[in-house]
Amino acid sequence: MSESGTPSTPAEVLAGNDVLQRREHAAIIGAGVIGASWTALFLAHGMEVRVTDPDPDAERKVRSLIDEAAPTLSALGLPTAGIYDRLRFVDDLADAVAGADIVQENGPEKVKFKRSLWSSIEQSAPPHALFLSSTSGILATSMAKEMTDPTRLLIGHPFNPPHLVPLVEIVPGEQTAAQCVDEAVAFYTALGKRPLVLHKEIPGFVANRLQAAMFQECVHLVASGVVGMDELDEVVTSSLGPRWAAGGPFVSFHLGGGTGGFEHFLTHLGPGMEYIWKNRLGHPSFDEETTTYLIEDLHRAYGDRTIDELAAERDRLQVAILNALANSRPQPSTN
Amino acid sequence: MSESGTPSTPAEVLAGNDVLQRREHAAIIGAGVIGASWTALFLAHGMEVRVTDPDPDAERKVRSLIDEAAPTLSALGLPTAGIYDRLRFVDDLADAVAGADIVQENGPEKVKFKRSLWSSIEQSAPPHALFLSSTSGILATSMAKEMTDPTRLLIGHPFNPPHLVPLVEIVPGEQTAAQCVDEAVAFYTALGKRPLVLHKEIPGFVANRLQAAMFQECVHLVASGVVGMDELDEVVTSSLGPRWAAGGPFVSFHLGGGTGGFEHFLTHLGPGMEYIWKNRLGHPSFDEETTTYLIEDLHRAYGDRTIDELAAERDRLQVAILNALANSRPQPSTN
């Protein structure tokens, strides 16, 4: 953001569309579920998008996913009319990234493949292009090993589906330039996302590690017959989910401590929680017995509804929640 | 529910107020934060409530909490006018439970104390009274050891605050009568709660174990400097919270597997998740260094806002979420 006259901090571009005016050409590399969802979101924000994917059926799949995403985008207040006018499918990687201001990569989670991919992208993209990887598993430092200039590559890891869930985890590599981190934050913010910059590169980042930690106990409780899958899901949707949509775990325990706050919590409930950590939590594995049990229970719990029905229900409820939160929070200043 | 002419299944009483007409007299034993919140909810549903607590200041505290809860109850669509008319504070336990249809106990989490308490309650309460404990840590089987008739005691464990969060975990003891479990389900359902019956007595029940499992990784990530507390909270409120308010962990992964569903998830992501469980997740403890770090970070993150401000914000957002969910879900049949 060094050009004169352009915003120089993420805050300056937060409310306006400046950042999307300067970064209006996107390349989507790899158009599976994540890439297609990004495509829908970018298009709904007025960007020109070139998509490339080796799957000969990719274009049909992407258009199908955009069609499915359209009601959600509309419900979130985004325009969807005419979005296909700004969408192009191209066969060639060099063609996809030529002229791109933003490259969002969603390729297979293989280190060697990504290293080679970014090296190729670097050779064809304009010098100002920002390189963002959707990877959930590979660090930017590792992925950038074959690049000439690794300063503009970083992780922009969404939570599925990216067109709906606000979080984007921004994880710079060791050589990522601070300015590129700011640019990525400004870019995702302009898309209505909530980018969060991690202070350290760590495998799994934050959200997936938290999810895995809780899911371990979920599997333990279901596999040991304490509750069925649908019952466990119901416990979560009627307690922890709404709680954590309103406030995260730390502020929740800060408030759970009453007037004594988090210090009271640590003193009075900390030892009990430590005891649960060390002595109570289960350590299941996906062995054959557990896997068989889980799949049977899944069929019992959700087998009478199709994936499409359940997904439509989830998206509808999530949109309702996100809109309720957006309408209930103090509006950020537009100055 | 054996009297002729009365509903005999929870479903029959779900929509109507029958259950609250038959169970309109409640005793609240122990009026800390949980007891006071139950009191507010019971009153808002038209029940007559007698409260007893050895704290000489209990009445003032309970009235203060009810005043604070009133806007939330109103926002949830419950009447709050004149609710104090049906509230009485009594000094004597026998007086509190005499004539009670429901006893909700919220005493200290000490086994011996609770055993003696329930034995006393049993001697003074009517034979038809249902005995419910808010305990989060003691099993009904253990708590009932000194009772003559342990069949009507069970756990009705709320999630804080009970007047707001839907979940109530119902945990029968070994000797709890099936009919009393049905009665408890019908009672909490009539209060607008979502009761969930556990199939096994297990320490910590379900929600608190899940919360502890995730919080272990939260503490690990903050204490190791990956994110600040407010940043971690922001990760959760912008991803896992809204996700899990719309659908629980199992249905979320069922949908995360695409058209292959949960089986695809298990095959393709299961091994990676198992790897995280075994090799990645942190195992922090609340040692002095960690505790000091956490408290400092709490002050940095939330120190500029009072507990009351943060709690009001949380309640406002939770009400918005719960109302959005209630308005978005298919309405249950009233037949």
ipTM of this complex prediction, to 2 decimal places = 0.93
Report the helix count and the strand count for chain B, using DSSP H and E: 16, 8
For residue B285, the model assigns a pLDDT of 96
* CA dihedral (B210, B305, A187, A320) positive or negative: positive
Q: Output the pLDDT for position A334.
A: 43
Give the residue-averaged pLDDT of A32-51.
96
Question: What does chain B come to in residues?
Answer: 335
Range B206-229 average pLDDT = 98
Query: Rounded to an integer, what distance in angstroms lies between the CA atom of residue A13 and that of residue B168?
Result: 45
Q: How far apart are CA B278 and CA A73, in angstroms?
A: 38
Range with the poorest average pLDDT among A57-71, A192-206, B11-25, B258-272: B11-25
- State both tokens at A94: 């060099």
Q: Do B277 and A210 touch (CB under 8 A)?
A: no
State chain B's maximal CA–CA distance in angstroms: 64
The H or E element containing residue A216 is helix A207-223
**Mean pLDDT confidence for B131-141:** 96
Spatial distance between the Cα atoms of B112 and B106, rounded to a whole number of angstroms? 14
Single-letter amino acid, residue B86: R
**Running DSSP on this structure, what letter comes out for residue A177?**
-
- Asked if pLDDT for residue A21 goes beyond 90, the answer is no
At residue B313, what is the residue type?
E
Q: Identify any residues that bridge with A172 across adjacent strands, giving them in sequence order.
A: A154
Give the residue on A whose Cα is nearest the Cα of B321: A321
Whether A75 and chain B come into contact, CB under 8 Å, resolves to no
Comparing alpha-carbon positions, the chain B residue that sits nearest to A166 is: B238
What is the tens place of the pLDDT at every residue in B82-105?
999 999 999 999 999 999 999 999
**CB-based contact A310 B276, cutoff 8 Å:** no
The residues in B 251-280 lying below 8 A from A, measured between CB atoms, are: 251-256, 258-259, 261-263, 266, 270-274, 276-278, 280
What CATH number labels A207-304?
1.10.1040.10
Question: How does pLDDT run across A120-145, given as a tens digit for each residue?
Answer: 999 999 999 999 999 998 999 999 99
- A68 forms beta bridges with none
* B9 has a chain A CB within 8 A of its CB: no
Strand-pairing partners, residue B228, are none
Pick from B137, B207, B217: which is nearest to A213 by CB? B217
Average pLDDT, chain A: 92
In angstroms, the separation between the Cα of residue B216 and the nearest Cα of chain A is: 7
- In chain A the beta strands, taken as DSSP E runs, fall at 25-29, 48-52, 87-89, 102-105, 130-133, 153-158, 167-172, 194-197
Query: And the tokens for A325?
Result: 């939160």
Q: Which amino acid appears at position A335 of this protein?
A: N
In eight-state DSSP terms, residue B60 is H
pLDDT, residue B258, reads: 72
Residue-level length of chain A: 335
Q: At what angle do helices B58-75 and B33-44 cross, to 10 degrees?
A: 50
Beta-strand relationship, B48-52 and B25-29: parallel
**A233 and chain B in contact, CB less than 8 A:** yes
Where along chain B do the CATH 3.40.50.720 domains lie? 10-197
**C-alpha distance from residue A30 to each of A56, A117, A134, B61, B256 (Å):** 12, 11, 10, 59, 18
Q: Is B76 on the interface with A (CB under 8 A)?
A: no
Task: Provide φ and ψ at A334, rounded to 5°.
Answer: -95, 5
Q: Please check whether residue B231 touches A, CB under 8 A.
A: yes
The answer to whether the CB atoms of A206 and B280 lie below 8 A apart is: no
pTM listed for this prediction: 0.92
> Between A255 and B232, whose confidence is greater?
B232
Question: Measured between CB atoms, does A232 come within 8 Å of chain B?
Answer: yes
**A225/B199 CB distance under 8 A:** yes
Q: How many CB pairs under 8 A join A and B?
A: 366
Give me A163's structure tokens: 């067109």
pLDDT above 70 (res A43) = yes
For chain B, state the CA radius of gyration: 22
The CATH architecture to which A10-197 belongs is: 3-Layer(aba) Sandwich (3.40)
Interhelix angle A261-268/A249-256, nearest 10 degrees: 80
pLDDT tens readout for residues B234-278: 999 999 999 999 999 999 999 986 778 999 999 988 999 999 999
Residues 6+ apart with CB under 8 A from A318: A164, A165, B242, B243, B245, B246
Are the beta carbons of B11 and B333 closer than 8 angstroms?
no
Q: Do A236 and B251 touch (CB under 8 A)?
A: no
Which part of chain A has CATH 1.10.1040.10?
207-304
Percent of chain B with pLDDT over 90: 87
Q: Residue B12 above 70 pLDDT? A: no
Q: Both tokens of residue A140?
A: 């930017």
Chain A residue numbers touching B323 (CB-CB < 8 A) = 324
pLDDT band for position A51 (cuts 50, 70, 90): very high
**How far is Cα of residue A57 from the mean position of the Cα atoms in its chain?**
25
- Cβ of A165 and B242 within 8 Å? yes
Cα–Cα distance list, B322 to A111, B95, B318, B329 (Å): 43, 37, 6, 11
Q: Does B1 touch chain A (CB under 8 A)?
A: no
Do the Cβ atoms of A214 and A221 come closer than 8 Å? no
How many CB atoms are located within 10 Å of the residue A178 CB? 9
* Rounded Cα–Cα distance for residues A78 and A95 (Å): 28
**pLDDT value at residue B23:** 80
- C-alpha span between B44 and A186 (Å, rounded): 47
Q: Determine whether the interchain pair A249/B218 forms a contact, defined as Cβ–Cβ distance below 8 Å.
A: yes
Residue A153, Cβ neighbours under 10 Å: how many?
27
